[in-house]
């Protein structure tokens, strides 16, 4: 499995940094974003390092998206979400900030406003773990 020693997501995969994990298998990891735009904002990544959609093998990309669907189902149940935003950014021009393929799964509620990038704050892992535990009960 290839890793990038400078990549924050690779460090999470290798348990060098903490995460509030929702789902994990041999090739995919889903964890809560530490700067969520709203409660339950989850990142789904391939465990192996690929920068974006253009270099990840199609079969692995398919697994990442299968897990994104699972997380969407879980968020809908656990957080009573009315909808789900799913996005994936590729390259600086597309506002990709971490250059490790990841899919954002963002639970939404009617009338809810999304925080702008300047409004995002780091959330304590203890708070995130409470949300993660709530979501994991629906897997």
Q: Which residues are catalytic?
A: 102
**Residue bearing tokens 């963002």:** 106
- The residue whose two tokens read 């692995």 is 60
Order of strands across the sheet that contains 83-87: 21-24, 28-32, 42-46, 102-108, 83-87
What is d(CA 51, CA 101) in angstroms, rounded to the nearest whole number? 5
Sign of the dihedral defined by the CA atoms of residues 65, 5, 7, 133, in that order: positive
Angstrom distance (rounded) from CA 53 to CA 27: 16
């Amino acid at each position: 499995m290839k890793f990038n020693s400078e990549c924050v997501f690779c460090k999470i995969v290798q348990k060098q940094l903490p995460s509030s994990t929702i789902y994990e298998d041999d090739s995919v990891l889903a964890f809560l974003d530490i700067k969520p735009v709203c409660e339950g904002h989850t990142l789904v990544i391939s465990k192996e390092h690929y920068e974006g959609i253009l270099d990840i093998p199609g079969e692995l990309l398919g697994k990442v998206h299968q897990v994104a669907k699972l997380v969407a189902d879980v968020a809908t149940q656990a957080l009573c979400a009315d909808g789900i935003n799913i996005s994936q950014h590729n390259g600086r021009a597309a506002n990709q900030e971490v250059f490790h393929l990841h899919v954002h799964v963002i639970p939404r509620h009617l009338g809810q406003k999304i925080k702008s990038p300047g409004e995002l704050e780091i959330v304590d892992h203890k708070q995130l773990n409470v949300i993660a535990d709530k979501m994991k009960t629906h897997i």
